[in-house]
Amino acid sequence: MTDAADSPSVRRLSAWDAAELQTLADEYGSPLYVLDLERVRQNYRRLAAAFPDADILYAVKANALGDVLAALHEEGAGLECASAGEVQRALEAGASDSEVHYTAVNPPAQDLDWIVDTWADHPELTVTAGSEDTIDRLADRGYDGRLCLRVNPGIGAGHHEKVQTGAAAKFGVPAERAVDVLTDAADRGFDVVGIHSHVGSGVSSDQLDAHREFVARMGDLAREVSETVTDLEFVDVGGGFGVPYRKDEEPLDLASVAEATREALGEVDARLAIEPGRYFVADAGVLLTDVNTVKAARDTTVVGVDAGMTTLIRPAMYDAYHPIRNLTADLDADEREIVPQTVAGPICESGDVFCADRELPATERGDVLAIGNAGAYGYEMANQYNSRPRPASIVLEDGDTRLARRRETVDDVTRPEREAHNGSATDRKTDDHPAASDTDDERVR
Ligand code: PLP
């Protein structure tokens, strides 16, 4: 095993073994997510070394594969969950209740039902609420357990406006109301344990000032809460640690980020908590895809591949850049000419492109491409639009390769419909989660 100190702080797509990836594509088919668990562990150890006195939770939403959760939990991470389903996965991966935080954003009723039921057997679970309504809805269900308040500090940062959460009205109670809300919650018997905020995702070094200001506001609030409401166990300043996607981008200087965080937070009588997702998994994953079409278009060459925005939506959704490498060309003895190419998927949307006019070795039908930095928000955001089954995922660990999640079939896509038609699925509410999808809040009053 590699020590944190020995592992490079960024793993570029060029560092992956082309022959190994090509063999995996041949063996498991395409499209295929490949995730290197050893790299996930290295990323965790490097970050943990920079934040030795912080509680580190992994934001499960970045990649919820059970193998990833188990590996990070084994390394010492707690798990931050965005839904009841993620909490279920976290507990199944071996986390104890005290290591699991559920961050409730406009939580569906069935999530709260399930969480409160689960809390009965897992009393150390922490629920982070982002509105007074959520606190009321928890109280309605009899919950008076560990409560953390998500606050909106009014500062956002991140790689795209759609992921800058710190100032978005949707998230958290405005910081200026936090003391009142926490006072009320404490008076009602909740076990107030923390305050939380998340500035945004993919925060880069040049946004360090925003990060500093954001953390300083959290520090001020923590001191005020400790003086006027109750002692806090932790101040959670979220995730958002950016990673380089482009060749010329430098990795975050973790030591500077850690120092800035500590300095900005100031003296607080509470533990610092952070909850990165992307940082652990992004460069541990690649997406392999077969080229099925090469077409000379009017202004570019279009390279058609079998992965699309349903497989990896980040380029379509955030104009995100992902490095692309032609594995077959790299393994070819012959040099190929470098020409501008547009790599596009099979989905009937003009936004279904992974890159436009990018200089790549001339692609041929049958080549295998690797799309880099696909370990975070890749499979997690995959969907079945155009009745496309989701791809398979394999993991690399200790020199072994194993299937971690099978490829879906069209049968998987259409089964819920067939079950509805043949009567094997109910169209009525049930108490099962997640089947109780339209549970009414009134039910529990
Ligand atoms: N915490 C919360 C509440 C989030 O919403 C997110 C992502 O959006 C994260 C943590 C993880 O962010 P990242 O993957 O950028 O570290």
| Nearest Cα residue to atom 8 of ligand 1 | 201
Known catalytic residue: 148? no
Cα–Cα distances in angstroms (integers) from residue 266 to residues 25, 183, 217, 262, 438, in the given order: 50, 23, 10, 6, 45
- Alpha carbon 240 to its chain's center: 10
360-416 pLDDT, tens per residue? 999 999 999 999 999 999 999 999 999 999 999 999 999 999 999 999 999 999 999
In this predicted structure, what is the pLDDT of residue 142? 98
Check if 99 has its Cβ closer than 6 Å to any atom of ligand 1: no
In this predicted structure, what is the pLDDT of residue 445? 32
178-200 pLDDT, tens per residue? 999 999 999 999 999 999 999 88
Please give the span between the terminal C-alpha atoms of the chain, in angstroms, as a whole number: 53
Q: CA triplet 276, 274, 45: central angle to 5 degrees?
A: 65
Check if 59 has its Cβ closer than 6 Å to any atom of ligand 1: yes
Six-digit token string for 111: 């999530």
pTM summary value: 0.94
Check if 198 has its Cβ closer than 6 Å to any atom of ligand 1: yes
Identity of the amino acid at 108? P
Six-digit token string for 176: 């200026």
DSSP SS3 for 230: coil
- d(CA 6, ligand 1 centre) in Å: 26
| Nearest Cα residue to atom 5 of ligand 1 | 198
Per-10-residue mean pLDDT for the chain, 445 residues long? 68 97 98 98 97 97 98 98 98 98 97 98 98 98 98 81 76 95 98 94 80 92 97 96 93 92 95 97 98 95 98 97 98 93 97 97 98 98 98 97 98 95 76 51 41
In this predicted structure, what is the pLDDT of residue 3? 55
| Nearest Cα residue to atom 3 of ligand 1 | 198
**What is the best residue among 83, 195, 201, 279 to mutate for testing ligand 1's pocket, by most ligand atoms within 8 Å of CB?**
201
What is the Cα Rg of the chain in Å?
23
Is the Cβ–Cβ distance between 147 and 192 less than 8 Å? yes
